[in-house]
Structure 1
């Protein structure tokens, strides 16, 4: 059995807060180190333990995070900074991932905030991690959002643990990380929310067929408590083939994600379809109708790799049956010819005896 679990500790604040994520202060049983942010003077709400700063164009600032190690061994940390993104579940991610930056994102957090690539927290000691912040000289509205992920580098330890686990017939790897959100604002001007539907296309999630709908938040603001209602029909037909409704989602500023509509194990069929979708957030509502096409070769490729679809081997059975029939016919012909030959030889032998 092989399993990998990645756990991120985050505290959810009141739902009325625009930026609802923070780190869990202190240490947890799964960690060998603890984390505590040093709240700066320009913190918007000093009760929050993540960084939510009011800044100015071109401003330079040093942020500090206290790292504490209560163990008897040094702890190595590899800090990573990344812009906030939205995953396929409609959840904002502040850590590193493979989601591409949105086309409307003006500034990446990793370009604004720099820190050390490797940190050693001494045994029974502390380390003050400094974040160098340099704001763009050009003023921006809304919020630039991102975060820093703090995860122990346990490469050597993991190798030893994995070796022991393999000897026991197991291969389990648990990884835990602190993520500290970083939000930067230069003003509190009101921004009108705006969502766009970019594309509709067949795809897969966890080797299962879906219709993906790419939704984009083009504005530098969070889209909170977002709901989506969607249905797919054949083009010019009212019968609903697939539908999906979801509530309580959130999108990061200037981000997009592929909203999956499950086919529930059904095969994709080539043809022309129509998507109807309604999204609502921040007191606004958007309705889209989009026609899209599924090509035959795409449908076949996805169907062949969908783990929930029972494979159709009819063609294979036909081929095997044909081969069996052909072999039986050949054997029958051989038998008839051999029988005929034996009869002819027997006739010759009888004729010779009569003479």
Structure 2
């Protein structure tokens, strides 16, 4: 629980994002032009005031209020979004709007309140903004995790780098954790599932993508993932990857890539994935195949070519032809010898 509180406390951070030709990059030497402070209600569970960690009652309306201050003399327009936490492929929990949804969720934080609203601030103005959450009448198991995500819709001038002028856009994330009792999350049994294995691309590299799902309304971290891919019915490892410190959001899934620096070869393979952590041990084994057309498409996308190799039937034909040629040579030599002795 202490680690979870630390994660949520770290959420109220301002992130500078530079926008250049539609791509997001980090911008340096910039600062947000507004501040955000949660207005903590009485049903807050901890003494930390930088995020909402609330015990809520079924069938009630729970207000989440932020005090937002415009630190400039010019009007500003902010976009406030209610978001649901999800797990990224790098093993970190993320809170951006419109994240991937997992079908295992009975409820999502975004189901309970207004998805977005605009916050208009005059110069120097402080305004309290509220998002009202309607808690299901029957309550919910475990925890709902997400955030209030504010973005300054006005882009400010940033640094000039390489002759390109950066435009900076700032976002502030305030964590939200809801449960119906202090022990609601502890009562949920931790579980992981392997829902898919296939060839794919991650971080610009080809490899095998294992989709891991947390189908439970709870979250935890400090996971170690050890994966190896072998040819079917062989112990020779063709790909492997081990990572530490992965986290997983409630009712979410992530793609764990076992990647390589060369082109994919089609064939029949086996995945062995071991996940260990403070809440359990999960060992998955799965057979899968990579079709030739699938491998070719992936290799073209990453601009890689397979090393040339003959198919098995070509080697069979070569073997038959070699045997035939050897038989012909032996036959001709014997006939030649018989002709000389005649």
Do these two structures clear the TM 0.5 threshold for a shared fold by scoring above it?
Answer: yes
> What does residue 343 of structure 1 align with?
none
- Match among 157, 163, 183 for residue 169 of structure 1: 163
Look up the match of 1:73. 74
Deviations 1:66-92 (A, max 9, x none): 001121111110111111100110110
User: Separation in 2 of the partners of 1:54 and 1:242?
Assistant: 45
Contact 1:18–1:224 under 8 Å retained in 2: no
Counterparts of 1:27 and 1:256, CA distance in 2: 25
Q: 1:151 to 1:102 in 2, by over 3 A?
A: same
- Aligned-residue Cα RMSD (Å) equals 2.7
CA distance in structure 2 between the aligned counterparts of 1:245 and 1:48, rounded to whole angstroms: 36
Q: For 1:297, which of 293, 312, 322 is the aligned residue? A: 293
Matches within 5 A, 1:322-337: none
Q: How many angstroms does 1:312 deviate by?
A: 8.0
Q: What is the alpha-carbon distance in structure 2 between the residues aligned to residue 165 and residue 35 of structure 1?
A: 28
Which is further off, 269-278 or 139-148?
A: 139-148
User: TM-score, with normalisation over the residues of structure 1?
Assistant: 0.76
**Counterparts of residues 30-179 of structure 1 (less than 5 Å):** 30-97=31-98, 99-114=99-114, 117-154=117-154, 157=155, 161=157, 169-179=163-173
Unpaired stretches in structure 1, ≥5 consecutive residues? 1-12, 314-355
Q: For residue 149 of structure 1, report the CA deviation from its aligned partner.
A: 0.9
SS at match of 2:300: helix
Distance 1:297 1:286 in 2: 33
Contact 1:67 1:126 in 2 (8 A): yes
Query: What is the TM-score when the length of structure 2 is the normalising length?
Result: 0.79
SS at match of 1:117: strand
The answer on 1:280 being equivalent to 2:281 is no
Please point out which of 174, 196, 202 is paired with 1:199.
196
Structure with a larger share of its residues in helix: 1
- How many residues align structurally? 293
> How far apart, in 1, do the equivalents of 2:145 and 2:275 lie?
23
Cα gap change, 1:137 to 1:173, in 2 (>3 Å): same
**CA spacing shift, 1:173–1:294, aligned 2, 3 Å:** farther
Q: What is the deviation of 1:206?
A: 3.4
